[in-house]
């Protein structure tokens, strides 16, 4: 049995005068949301034996804020292919995960993460999939389990979505902005 937890980076600052999308930092709401997600991860006693993440600035800042709430160190392997990756590319990354890794955290971007969940989790699945179809917000965790022994066996329709936690589920003030 393998467990894959996906974390979309927290809300970033579009008003920041950076020249490249890759360098865009989190905004204040994003930092609060990532800390709340980290606290929730701690309360659920989630643990990971492998972390792989996009090297984008907003992902690194998301992980820093998550760690502040989580209270445990996360030592990601920075994987450039995750930056703005398609679901197919993300599945390639998953297929290459270390065989000994049982519980993996992958931190990246949309639409790839949302598309990956929709690819891996069968349509006839429980109600959580419908929430993903609706929207995969920033700083949201999606946990999937696979009845496989090696990551190379992960395939479309082969996962069960066991958890989908949005920041607004933890604190309503972290929900969508009005307006």
Query: Which segments are annotated as binding site?
Result: 58
The DSSP bridge pattern shows strands 103-108 and 141-146 to be unpaired
Distances (CA, A) of 101 to 11, 79, 94, 107, 144: 29, 16, 11, 16, 14
Could you list the residues known to form a binding site for substrate, using ranges: 58
> Which tokens in the block code for residue 81?
């292919």
Angstrom CA distances, 57 to 22, 68, 178, 179, stand at 6, 17, 27, 28
Number of H helices, E strands in the chain: 6, 6
Residues 6+ apart with CB under 8 A from 88: none
Tokens linked to 77:
């392997």
Maximum CA extent, the chain = 47
Tokens of 173: 């003030």
Question: Inter-axis angle of helices 57-70 and 28-43, to 10 degrees?
Answer: 40
């Amino acid at each position: 049995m393998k467990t894959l937890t996906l974390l979309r980076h927290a809300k970033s600052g579009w008003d920041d005068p950076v020249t490249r999308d890759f360098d865009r930092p989190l905004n204040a709401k994003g930092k609060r949301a990532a800390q709340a997600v980290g606290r929730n991860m701690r309360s659920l006693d989630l643990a990971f034996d492998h972390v792989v993440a996009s090297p984008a600035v907003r992902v690194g800042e998301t992980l820093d804020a998550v760690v502040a709430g989580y209270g445990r160190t996360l030592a990601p392997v920075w994987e450039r292919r995750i930056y703005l990756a398609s679901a197919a590319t993300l599945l390639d990354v998953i297929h290459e995960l270390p065989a000994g890794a049982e519980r993996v955290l992958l931190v990246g971007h949309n639409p790839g993460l949302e598309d990956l969940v929709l690819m891996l989790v069968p349509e006839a699945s429980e109600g959580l999939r419908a929430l993903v179809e609706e929207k995969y917000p920033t700083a949201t965790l999606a946990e999937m389990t696979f009845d496989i022994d090696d990551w190379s066996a992960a395939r479309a329709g082969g996962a069960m979505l066991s958890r989908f936690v949005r920041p607004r589920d933890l604190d309503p003030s972290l929900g969508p902005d009005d307006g």
